[in-house]
Structure 1
Amino acid sequence: MKYFGTDGFRGEANVGLTVEHAYKIGRFVGWYYGANRERKARVIVGKDTRRSSYMFEAALVSGLVASGADAYMLHVIPTPGVAHQTVEGCFDCGIMISASHNPFCDNGIKLVNSDGFKMDEDVLELIEDYIDGKSEVPLATGNHIGATVDYMQGRNRYIASLIASANFSLQGVKIGIDCANGSASSVAKPVFDALGADVRVINAAPDGFNINVDCGSTHMERLQRHVVEQGLDVGFAYDGDADRCLAVDERGRVVDGDQILYVCGVYLNKHGRLSGGTVVPTIASNFGLVKSLELAGLSAVTSGVGDRHVYAKMREGGYSLGGEQTGHTIFGDIERTGDGIMTSLRVMEVIRAERETLSQLTAPCRLLPQAQVAVHVADKDAALENMGVQNAIAEAEAALAGEGRVLVRKSGTESVIRVLAEAPDQASADAAMKRIANALEAL
Structure 2
Amino acid sequence: MSRKLFGTDGVRGRANRYPMTAEMAMRLGAAAGRYFRREGGSSAHRVVIGKDTRLSGYMFETALTAGFTSTGMNVLLLGPVPTPAVGVLTPSMRADVGVMISASHNPHEDNGIKFFGPDGFKLSDEAEIEIERIVQKGAEPARASKIGRARRIDDGMYRYAERIKNTLPNGRTLEGLRVVVDCANGAAHKIAPEVLWELGAEVIPMGNAPDGLNINLNCGSTRPEAAQQLVRERRADVGICLDGDADRVMIIDETGEVADGDQIMALFAARRAEAGRLNQGTLVSTVMSNLGLERYLAARKLKLLRTKVGDRYVVEAMRQGGYNLGGEQSGHIVMTDHTTTGDGLLAGLQFLAAMVETGQRASELAHQFDAVPQMMKNVRYAVGKAPLEDEAVQAEIAAAEKRLGKSGRVLIRASGTEPLIRVMAEAEDETLMEQVVDDIVGKVEAAAR
Q: What secondary structure does 1:301 align onto?
A: strand
Counterpart of 1:103 in structure 2: which amino acid? P
Q: Which amino acid aligns with 2:304?
A: A
Task: Say yes or no: does 1:254 pair with 2:269.
Answer: no
Question: Corresponding residue for 2:162?
Answer: 160
Deviations 1:333-377 (A, max 9, x none): 222111110110111122221221222124441111111011112
1:115-134 alignment to 2 at 5 Å? Answer: 115-132=119-136, 134=137
- 1:28 aligned partner: 31
CA contact (8 A) 1:49 1:183 kept: yes
**1:213 maps to 2:205:** no
Distance 1:418 1:172, change over 3 A: same
Distance 1:403 1:238 in 2: 34
Contact kept? 1:180, 1:217, Cα under 8 Å: yes
1:338 to 2:339 alignment: no
Residue 405 of structure 1: how far off its partner (Å):
1.4
1:3: which partner in 2? 5
TM-score normalized with structure 2 length: 0.94
State the partner residue of 1:243: 247
- Describe the shift of the 1:136–1:398 C-alpha distance in structure 2 as closer, same or farther (beyond 3 A): closer
Secondary structure of 2:75 counterpart: strand
Cα distance in structure 1, aligned partners of 2:177 and 2:401 = 46
* 1:135 to partner: Cα distance: 3.7
User: Alpha-carbon deviation of 1:381?
Assistant: 7.5
Instruction: Write the distance in 2 (CA, Å) between the matches of 1:403 and 1:176.
Output: 39
Q: How many residues align?
A: 441
How far has the Cα of 1:120 moved from its partner? 3.5
Distance 1:37 1:417, change over 3 A: farther
Cα pair 2:184 2:208 within 8 Å, conserved: yes
2:184–2:217 contact (8 Å) kept in structure 1? yes
Picking from 422, 433, 438, the partner of 1:429 is 433
What is the aligned partner in structure 2 of residue 316 from structure 1?
320
Matched, 1:66 2:70: yes
| Distance across 1 between alignment mates of 2:292 and 2:277 | 23
How much identity, in percent, do the aligned residues show?
Answer: 42
1:149 paired with 2:148, answer no
Q: Specify the SS of the correspondent of 1:87.
A: helix
What amino acid maps onto 1:323 in structure 2? G
Deviation at 1:166, TM superposition (A): 1.7
Measured after TM superposition, the shift of residue 71 of structure 1 is 0.6
1:185 matched to 2:214? The reply is no
Give the match's secondary structure for 1:152.
coil
Q: What are the ranges of 5 or more consecutive residues in structure 1 without an aligned counterpart? A: none
Among 402, 423, 436, the residue aligned to 1:398: 402
Residues 1:318 and 1:381: Cα distance change in structure 2 (over 3 Å): farther
Contact 2:174–2:353, Cα closer than 8 Å, also in 1: no
One-letter code aligned to 1:125 = I
Provide the residue aligned with 1:53 in structure 2. Answer: 57
Answer whether contact 1:380 1:415 (CA < 8 A) is retained.
Answer: no
Query: What value does the CA root-mean-square deviation take over the aligned residues?
Result: 1.7
How far has the Cα of 1:438 moved from its partner?
Answer: 1.2
Residue 4 of structure 1 aligns to which amino acid in structure 2? F
Q: Which residue of 1 aligns with 2:442?
A: 438
Alignment gaps of 5+ in structure 2: none
- C-alpha change, 1:121 and 1:407, in structure 2 (3 Å) is closer
- Does 2:143 align with 1:140? yes
* Match runs of 1:376-387 below 5 Å: 376-378=380-382, 382-387=386-391
1:36 to partner: Cα distance: 4.2
Q: Which residue identity does 1:171 align to in structure 2?
A: E
